[in-house]
Structure 1
């Protein structure tokens, strides 16, 4: 995610920020201009208002870079639950922003802790929303919009995280750090985050759109294998006999990717989204890296520029960025934030994702969906 700055004072703010810590300005992300703006409550005639309540209209504070009379309302999930920081153009009829409208089922918010779990999931989902939008994947188009349900286990009915018929299900227990770590350790995974879950499951959604409905099944099968093999049996075999590092590392981005071609694609897709998001962040900080004495530095560039960057250039920047990230983590006594080493086989699949994502694609699809569960 790129950097943002407060319109009122110029201080650094973040994508999730709702107030500037330097000057106290109210902040909101404005999807219509892909920016975080400092906002002032206004009356219907545009004059300043002291009322910043749920019914308030808002206008972006003018700065050197911006001057707009567009008026906004805050997403209703911000006003009621502090669960969103998106603003909506005032003339739109919806009370919820385009990201929150993707969530069809909420957990029972009367249960202690569920509101916080839901807030964490929505925070991660908004990051995914913006990344997909920047990749041109039409998150506001009906046929290109994944939907979500965030559910809690009930006795004898555990919630299975997965994707089916355009609906992504996430078990809200994953929002509890201790539970997520317990599952990561139990499953011998090096990495497990809410954002990672959402990116992975969105991969299943976009496999339907970009591969199956995009006429790419033959090219997919040549590289990833035949997805028509039994999916339930493949997962059963994987969990019964997890592969060792030497069995998967040369061809897959993770051990789980080796379970089935669908999972190989979804893991590669998620990894590509990791790549573009982190490269954009590093580029926004104007990062230059020197890998060895006497060698030229590597300048990190924005992966969302047009025309799209070459995949080889992205990889050449990605490696030093991940080494810097892990070095910073180790200096604080933390484990590696990026616990992966990409083999030539894994990079070939990431290149495939890159090529699929960056080419023009249709907006309509009438074929039946497939089901993926974990």
Structure 2
């Protein structure tokens, strides 16, 4: 009698898909603005989470000049390409007909950049290109997760803005940080050699442009999602009291370093500096794992399909949360640990640093779960 083989369960659907195909059948990727096989123009529609092949549309007053290729003309959505396509930012995002009717020329991601680097300075164009590419990946995830991503009005008010500043030749440098919805980034973080030097100097094993941006949006969403509502008390109970003197806490951290047992309580050493930094680092880690798993699943990979077994986190770890979605969250984290275990081994095979140089403790997982719940609640 032939033994019955259990069917492999389907992979969870990616929230932000990362694998795409041109109408010619060749694979194309999130950053592409043109298919390298057939030379057809491409554009990213963030609302659909799709990279689309484009073709010129017949000219009609008030309508964008491009339409989706490979679908019946009557059903083909019409688009405009972002005005930053032909700048150093090289943006491949699209604007829909409503955007065009409103007189907009920049996509949802580029509209968030309040200050671009001064392109008269050396390397500014290269650094801007790298920053905007990382920002597009970040913003696509935030939008697809259902989070509010609105540009800050010119006169001030709620919203998000990015100031990408070139470091001065003399005098004080640019301080990367967040204040009231404005994320300031030292554009020289896009210089690989400088960033690597800072990584060693500060003892940060994972320092990337995308990591910086994810971390700073954590501070923004603290103000948007946590501070004004019912999540503040549970966040303080788990992350600590954010009313602790922030400046003094950072001075203490940089003078004496993290506590010896930081790995038993936090996702990173820097997270131990202050509850705000713990939240921002945990937020960034949540975005890391969700987007990486989305990418893996987009290409048919998943931690549950690799030949590597880890001890799984128990539901008891998340007891008394009242969260009906807890099993799905635990599956997410378990898949992450299994996938990164294999990716670390692949990195070692190439003789480079581990892909994911962290170990998630039980307290860190509880904090990630709270971030997960807050994001899901905001999306609903």
| TM-score interval for Structure 1 and Structure 2 normalised by the shorter chain | 0.7 to 0.9
Identify which of 358, 363, 373 aligns with 1:345. Answer: 363
Within the alignment, does 1:313 sit opposite 2:331 as a pair?
Answer: yes
> What is the match of residue 78 of structure 1?
85
> What is the match of residue 290 of structure 1?
307
> What is the match of residue 303 of structure 1?
none
**Number of residues of Structure 1 aligned to a counterpart in Structure 2:** 340
Task: Describe the shift of the 1:308–1:72 C-alpha distance in structure 2 as closer, same or farther (beyond 3 A).
Answer: farther
> What is the match of residue 211 of structure 2?
196
Provide the rounded CA distance (Å) in 2 between the counterparts of 1:121 and 1:292. 36
Identify which of 111, 116, 123 aligns with 1:113. Answer: 123
How does 1:139-218 map onto structure 2 within 5 Å? 139-140=149-150, 145-154=159-168, 155-218=170-233
Q: How far is 1:21 from its partner?
A: 2.0
> What is the match of residue 366 of structure 1?
none
Moved more, 177-186 or 32-41: 32-41
How does 1:34-73 map onto structure 2 within 5 Å? 34-45=49-60, 57-63=65-71, 68-73=75-80
Unaligned runs of 5+ in 1: 47-54, 294-306, 363-374
The question of whether the paired residues in 1 share the 8 Å contact of 2:17 and 2:50 is answered with: no
Runs of 4+ aligned structure 1 residues displaced above 4 Å come to 141-144
Identify which of 239, 244, 250 aligns with 1:235. Answer: 250
Within the alignment, does 1:138 sit opposite 2:148 as a pair?
Answer: yes
Q: How far is 1:174 from its partner?
A: 0.2
Provide the rounded CA distance (Å) in 1 between the counterparts of 2:33 and 2:328. 35
> What is the match of residue 319 of structure 2?
none
> What is the match of residue 331 of structure 1?
349
Q: Taking structure 1 as the reference length, what is the TM-score of the superposition?
A: 0.85
Identify which of 14, 21, 24 aligns with 2:36. Answer: 21
Identify which of 217, 241, 251 aligns with 1:226. Answer: 241
Q: How far is 1:83 from its partner?
A: 2.3
Task: Describe the shift of the 1:141–1:173 C-alpha distance in structure 2 as closer, same or farther (beyond 3 A).
Answer: closer
How does 1:263-278 map onto structure 2 within 5 Å? 263-278=277-292
Provide the rounded CA distance (Å) in 1 between the counterparts of 2:90 and 2:120. 15
Q: How far is 1:104 from its partner?
A: 0.4
Provide the rounded CA distance (Å) in 2 between the counterparts of 1:196 and 1:276. 13
Q: How far is 1:63 from its partner?
A: 4.7
The question of whether the paired residues in 2 share the 8 Å contact of 1:8 and 1:63 is answered with: no
Unaligned runs of 5+ in 2: 1-15, 311-324
Q: How far is 1:69 from its partner?
A: 2.9
Cα-to-partner distance string for 1:68-105 (whole Å, 9 max, x where unaligned) = 33222111111333521101124341111111010101
Provide the rounded CA distance (Å) in 1 between the counterparts of 2:125 and 2:46. 24
Provide the rounded CA distance (Å) in 2 between the counterparts of 1:275 and 1:157. 35
Provide the rounded CA distance (Å) in 1 between the counterparts of 2:361 and 2:204. 18
Aligned alpha-carbon RMSD (Å): 2.5
Q: How far is 1:197 from its partner?
A: 0.3
Q: Taking structure 2 as the reference length, what is the TM-score of the superposition?
A: 0.84
Q: How far is 1:278 from its partner?
A: 0.8
The question of whether the paired residues in 1 share the 8 Å contact of 2:258 and 2:273 is answered with: no
The question of whether the paired residues in 1 share the 8 Å contact of 2:167 and 2:173 is answered with: yes
Moved more, 31-40 or 261-270: 31-40
Q: How far is 1:42 from its partner?
A: 2.9
Q: How far is 1:313 from its partner?
A: 1.0
Provide the rounded CA distance (Å) in 1 between the counterparts of 2:75 and 2:174. 45
Secondary structure at the residue paired with 1:359? helix
